[in-house]
Structure 1
Amino acid sequence: MDMAIPANEPERLEALASYAILDTLPEIGFDEITELAAQICDCPAALISFVDPSRQWMKAKYGLPPDLSECPREISICQVTICNNDILYVPDLVSDQRFNTSPLVTTGLQLRFYCGVPLITQDGHALGTLCVIDFKSRELSFEQREALRRLSRQTMVHLELRRQLLERNEMLRQLEKARDRAVAEKSESERLLLNILPPSIAAELKASERVRPRFFDSATVVFIDFTGFTRIVETMEPASVIDQLDQHFTRFDDIIARHRLEKLKTIGDAYLAVGGVPEPNRSHAMDAALCALQILDHLAKLNRQREKLRLPPWLARIGINTGPVIAGVVGKHKFTYDIWGNTVNVAERVEAAGVPGRISISEATWQYIKGRFETEARGAVEVKHKGLVNMYFLDRIKPDYSSDPAGLAPNERFWKQE
């Protein structure tokens, strides 16, 4: 099979490099798209791949061996797809003179069916393909082919969002360097403050050059800590460890923000957030409970994909406690907004006394949320330096107040309940 080359090959390869996608770790978003493509087209296998100068590299695959990650470009069927810039539909590869001598057809995988759609940027560069394959000839309906085409567009949306996230991370790294360089420059400091402090705290610091510590008589503290972290990272490169932690914490950031909680800091593989601070509200305990349920759901979905790839799961303990805290800013050159008090200490102990993959809450938090959530009493649990503390497992939203069967999302009645 002669290898055709796209007319815009140099520009195409430059565009591909800008997405920094080659040889990256599996990502659940791409994995789910391949699984969905296979299901829609009723095919046993699907993949998302990208074509560089010498190979077709697979970012995500469904129904193919875990150790299969690339094939030479000169025998790739997807190579033809990116040259056509349109869907390539071959019901029977054996009957097609373009492919019936390919090693992919005659030996190895012994493919018989192929349908692929190029992944095309807004500038018209075909980076790779989303394709479905089968080991026997088959036909796809017009609706199935159009669904595959729509999924390819969604893949490009996901890829573009990923590129923007990489740019965001790079921007944050550059801001970190700038903060070290420009402590004495007021205008630069003002810009940086908004990246590291809540807006109201940053405004106070800008106005008076200090932040007055504040007492909050009711707040909810959330501790998240990965268990078995050492075992997971023993077989990973340092860069991969940081990349995966960054993906998890970025997702946590999104969930935290949606539920009006304030992320305070990360310490290694631990994550600390608080509700009801610095802006007081009456729903902070429920917000924290909803947030914790969705974080565990995110990890559960991720671990289902990791199980398919025979990778160890990322399991987390979550501990929640409600009570009074003191909040303020510490540091002179590098500011940190933080909280203190017995409530914080108990939250950390509740997390430490928890169970991987579950949410533990103190009795104080339970009193705020018991009417809307299903919980399991754990009784009095011995807590280091705190004695016996009554704890509960938080399972889900009660069915009467949930908009989904899993009990992860509240309905309108949830918020109207007194």
Structure 2
Amino acid sequence: MAEEQKEIVWQYGRRQGDSLPGVILKEDGRYYVKSAFYANLNEQVTRLSMLMDVSRSIMAEIDLDSLLQLIMQKVTLVMNADRSSLFLVDHEKKQLWTRVAQGASEIRLPLGEGIAGDVALTGKTANIPDAYEDIRFNKEFDIKTGYRTKSILCMGIRNQSGKIIGTIQVLNKKDETAFSESDEALLAAFCGLAGISLENARAYEELQLERDSLEIRVQERTKELASEKKKSDELLLNILPFEIAEELKTKGEAEPRNFEKVTVMFTDFKGFTQVAETMTAESLVSDLDNCFYYFDEVMDRRKVEKIKTIGDSYMCAGGLPNANNTNPIEVVLAAMEIKNFMEKLKEIKTNMGQAYWELRIGIHTGPVIAGVVGKRKFAFDIWGDTVNTASRMESSGYPGEINISEATYQEIKDFFVCEARGKIAAKNKGDIEMYFVKRIIPELSNDEGGQVPNQTFFQKLERLGS
């Protein structure tokens, strides 16, 4: 039967002996009591049931942004409110701020300012029937958004140690009544759940940030290590050939090897000691560095391996660590380049009235043993009679000339014009047939002086190497 068909026999209020206000109803000849206690209990059971459902959903969320959105949705529903906002406390900056404010963008305000700021500072719940009557309320937000705030219930969110970490503020009950004591109790329970969830989410976020930070540090450290490795590799390659360096890194040692055909070149500056005595230490080192830097550049271009420098002497070899058949031609080409460089340098120094060095070059081709020596300071070196003979070619030559042995001549004679010197006595070696390399054969040269090889030269060299 509809409510209006029920006859109200007696409406009673709170009197001595009455537990709660209520009414006595008569329906179909029967009397019964409809108490506000039961109505209130019904409402509380419904809201607690809703709160339990909400607690399961928010406790399961660990992403902070998603959790804040979820809390706002649920508290608005549970509290039967029109809008809600959640402010977090930034204790370091002494500010309240919100990532989520329904109907508005992010808001920041000083701790203690406004209703939410005062609640966050004092911890006292604010239950305000009319916001416009409270001096703490800032009407500017309503003016900007066109919204009319009426009733407000604002409460602090505490962590497990009791510290306020934020506030929840619900606005305007949908039934247009003020928020009641039971609303406060319900929001207090909700704030308790929110506090635990927010702490969990914050801990997870901090863990994620720490993990990301650690990952960034690992990446940065990896880059640093890669950079340091590159530097050490480059330094190692300045000392050792690439293949030998790789073998050392892989095996921890490099086995000595025999090479049947290697062309060794020595250079030496004539009168170095006398000229050096007239120079400052800085000028001496600078001039040597300038020369040897150019020599290194030529060797790289001609695929000749620099072995070492000893004072003003420069030693290099072609045909190792990768054996090839073209190394005598390549070494002689390198020798011609550095000879021309020294001639130009001599001209510059003469014009400036400065002392200059003249270069002797000696070359010999034959078998060598190559390997790495040393424990703390590795050095790639070569040994054998070929090395000694190449050194004698240099000491038996003339400044500004490329002096080669008979063995080297037989390897290069189809590419270069050579001047026979006959047998020349070499220290501890007896008489050795020697030749001066004068120029590239005309038909293989790109210039009249025979110093620059042409395309035919390289085609012929390629056929020799295949």
**Could you state the TM-score of these two structures normalised by the residue count of structure 2?**
0.49
Residue 293 of structure 1 aligns with an amino acid whose one-letter code is M
Q: Which runs of 5+ in 1 are unaligned?
A: 1-184
Residue 329 of structure 1 aligns with an amino acid whose one-letter code is V
SS in 1 for 2:397: coil
Task: Give deviations 1:327-385, integer Å, cap 9, x for gaps.
Answer: 00000100000110000000001100110111100000000001110110010000111
C-alpha RMSD of matched pairs (Å): 1.7
SS in 2 for 1:322: strand
* CA shift for structure 1 position 187: 9.6
SS in 2 for 1:279: coil
- Higher relative contact order (Cα pairs below 8 Å, separated by 6+ residues): 1
Pairing of 1:69-80 with structure 2 (within 5 A): none
Task: Give deviations 1:312-335, integer Å, cap 9, x for gaps.
Answer: 222010000001111000001000
Q: Does 1:369 align with 2:436?
A: no
CA distance in 2, matches of 1:186, 1:249: 26
Of 196, 221, 239, the match for 2:282:
239
Task: Give deviations 1:224-277, integer Å, cap 9, x for gaps.
Answer: 000000121111101110110000000000111110000010000000000001
Pairing of 1:12-27 with structure 2 (within 5 A): none
Of 401, 423, 437, the match for 1:380:
423
CA distance in 2, matches of 1:217, 1:224: 23
Q: Which runs of 5+ in 2 are unaligned?
A: 1-227
* CA shift for structure 1 position 416: 2.9
The aligned length equals 234
Task: Give deviations 1:366-415, integer Å, cap 9, x for gaps.
Answer: 00001110110010000111101100001110111011222112111113
Residue 406 of structure 2 aligns with an amino acid whose one-letter code is E
Residue 341 of structure 1 aligns with an amino acid whose one-letter code is G
CA distance in 2, matches of 1:187, 1:358: 40
CA distance in 2, matches of 1:294, 1:187: 31
Q: Does 1:393 align with 2:436?
A: yes
Pairing of 1:223-372 with structure 2 (within 5 A): 223-372=266-415
SS in 2 for 1:379: strand
Task: Give deviations 1:33-54, integer Å, cap 9, x for gaps.
Answer: xxxxxxxxxxxxxxxxxxxxxx
SS in 2 for 1:334: coil
SS in 2 for 1:243: helix
Select between 233-242 and 406-415 the one with higher mean Cα deviation. Answer: 406-415
Aligned to 1:415: 458
* CA shift for structure 1 position 188: 8.0
Q: Which has the larger radius of gyration?
A: 2
CA distance in 1, matches of 2:410, 2:458: 17
CA distance in 2, matches of 1:412, 1:187: 37
**Could you state the TM-score of these two structures normalised by the residue count of structure 1?**
0.54
**Structure 1 residues 187 and 295, CA, compared in 2 at 3 Å: closer, same or farther?**
closer
CA distance in 1, matches of 2:281, 2:428: 35
Of 202, 205, 209, the match for 2:245:
202
Identity over aligned pairs, percent: 48
Aligned to 1:193: 236
Residue 228 of structure 1 aligns with an amino acid whose one-letter code is G
CA distance in 2, matches of 1:195, 1:376: 36
Residue 315 of structure 2 aligns with an amino acid whose one-letter code is L
* CA shift for structure 1 position 195: 2.9
CA distance in 1, matches of 2:388, 2:458: 30
Aligned to 2:115: none
Pairing of 1:92-107 with structure 2 (within 5 A): none
CA distance in 2, matches of 1:387, 1:191: 43
CA distance in 2, matches of 1:330, 1:197: 11
CA distance in 2, matches of 1:270, 1:208: 32
CA distance in 2, matches of 1:192, 1:302: 29
Residue 336 of structure 1 aligns with an amino acid whose one-letter code is A
Aligned to 2:265: 222
Residue 294 of structure 1 aligns with an amino acid whose one-letter code is E
* CA shift for structure 1 position 186: 9.4
Aligned to 2:89: none
CA distance in 1, matches of 2:351, 2:450: 25
**Structure 1 residues 299 and 206, CA, compared in 2 at 3 Å: closer, same or farther?**
same
SS in 2 for 1:210: coil
CA distance in 1, matches of 2:415, 2:236: 38
Query: Is contact 1:375–1:392 with CA below 8 Å preserved after alignment?
Result: yes
Q: Does 1:212 align with 2:262?
A: no
* CA shift for structure 1 position 194: 2.8
Residue 387 of structure 2 aligns with an amino acid whose one-letter code is V
CA distance in 2, matches of 1:389, 1:379: 8
Structure 1 residue runs of 4+, over 6 Å off?
A: 185-188
**Structure 1 residues 397 and 190, CA, compared in 2 at 3 Å: closer, same or farther?**
closer
CA distance in 2, matches of 1:411, 1:314: 30
Query: Is contact 1:224–1:351 with CA below 8 Å preserved after alignment?
Result: yes
CA distance in 2, matches of 1:397, 1:238: 38
Query: Is contact 1:190–1:206 with CA below 8 Å preserved after alignment?
Result: no
